[in-house]
Amino acid sequence: MTRAQKTAFTLLSIFAILLSGAVYSLYTKKWRAPLGPSLQLPTWTPFALPATWTPDPRATKTPLSAITVDSAKPTTTQPPQCGATPVMHILLIGSDARADSYNYGLADVIRLARVDFMNETVTVLEFPRDLWVEIPDIADNLDGQTHEKLNQAYLYGNPGFQYTNDPAQGPGLLARTLALNFGARIDHYAAINMKTFVNIVNAVGGIDVYLPEPVDGRAGEDLSERLVFPAGQLHLMGDRALTLARIRIEGGFARAENQNRVLCALRDQLTSPEVVKDIPELIQAFRDNVQTDLSPAQISDLACLGTQIQTGDIRFVDFPQSLFVQTREFDPVFGKNVSILKTDFEILREYVHQFNEGAWQATSAPVGTPGEEVPFCP
């Protein structure tokens, strides 16, 4: 090799190294960059609880223990699994929008997931959508009105209304509403509309749902058989799964229970050997059809945990029904009384504090015959 050739080869080698470094740097930044605007929440500080606080005696559905760490899985000092942060709190939203966009739509499903990468557990808490709450940023657009139903926060934050300058739009305003009213700790968000939910269920081949009792959603002029679900084991494709999750003829709490069954079934399908290998492709296929500030790296961490976690360590919990009273509140937006849930916010804050700290001891929710307990997620 001549001196000129050696010089050219050296320069090309240096250029190749520099180029590969630039490509790797760009890939790394893109891999760790959030897929949507990050939440703009104030620094989280827990609500201070009395040293002698104990669960509310009316908590007959999903009781809490005293302030202790969940004994279902002992705390470990090992590094977090999948190279992730030790704990991640994710706001999960199911929008009732039927279009591909997220310009409009109420928060039909509101769940807060606490993902513990240290102990390989996931706990999912449901917030009733009909809670009458203070919503930031809306007063200027609603003639001074500061309160609305919880599910309205998501609608008012999205581009259709845009009552906020929050870069995270609907998920951002809903996250700040939950933090303001209940002290919820939220690190990230993920929202999907009805069309995307249907497509995801279809993409995994449908889900298997067990109903301890039949569900009949027929009412008014809609007497379609599509609203009838017999008791027992059912295999549901996307449209049927969505229909079951949205039936509320027996009230919001019964609806939430059916939603939990659907989510449990989807969890089972996503963690099945037949599907888990396809999770990266599923993530790629639906990444442009969701609202989220998770990065591809964080989604990969969650998928990694999904391959290792035991199905029994993903629990769905909710507030005791006895804490809520169905009543009506005059809503100036609609000019009439609307149905809301009234509750003691201080008690709910205590429960949320326990959830934030990982001290919620989940038990199965009573369904079916009196006294029988059947877990949503076996």
Residue 116's alpha-carbon distances to 80, 123, 265, 360, 373, in angstroms, are 8, 8, 21, 13, 26
Measure the CA–CA gap between 307 and 273, rounded to whole angstroms: 9
Measure the CA–CA gap between 72 and 244, rounded to whole angstroms: 30
3 state SS of 183: coil
User: Which segments of 183-315 does DSSP mark as H helices, in order?
Assistant: 194-203, 238-246, 252-270, 273-276, 279-286, 296-308
Q: Are 87 and 130 in contact (CB under 8 A)?
A: no
Residue type, 148: E
Say what the pLDDT of residue 91 is: 96
Say what the pLDDT of residue 364 is: 39
**Topology of the domain covering 55-357:** Aminopeptidase (3.40.630)
Q: Would you kindly state where each structural domain of the chain is located, as residue ranges?
A: 55-357
Q: Which residues of 67-84 are buried (b: 16+ CB within 10 A; e: fewer)?
A: beebeebeeeeeebbbeb
Say what the pLDDT of residue 125 is: 93
Residue type, 41: L
Beta-bridge partners for 235:
208
What DSSP string describes 358-372?
T-----PPB-SSTT-
Say what the pLDDT of residue 43 is: 61
Residue 274's alpha-carbon distances to 188, 264, 269, 302, in angstroms, are 29, 17, 8, 18
198's tokens: 């249907």
Angle, CA 100 vertex, CA 216 and CA 299 arms, to 5°: 90
301's tokens: 């961490």
3 state SS of 244: helix
Say what the pLDDT of residue 168 is: 95
Say what the pLDDT of residue 373 is: 30
Q: Are 291 and 190 in contact (CB under 8 A)?
A: yes
Q: Please give the chain's pLDDT, 378 residues, in tens.
A: 666 655 555 555 544 444 444 433 444 566 678 888 899 886 654 444 443 334 444 443 333 333 233 434 555 567 787 877 899 999 999 898 877 789 999 998 899 999 999 999 999 999 999 999 999 999 999 999 999 999 999 999 999 999 999 999 999 999 999 999 999 999 999 998 888 888 888 888 899 999 988 998 888 777 888 889 999 999 999 899 989 988 877 777 787 788 888 888 887 787 777 776 676 667 666 666 889 999 888 888 887 887 788 777 888 888 998 999 999 999 988 899 999 999 999 999 999 999 999 988 544 333 332 222 334 455
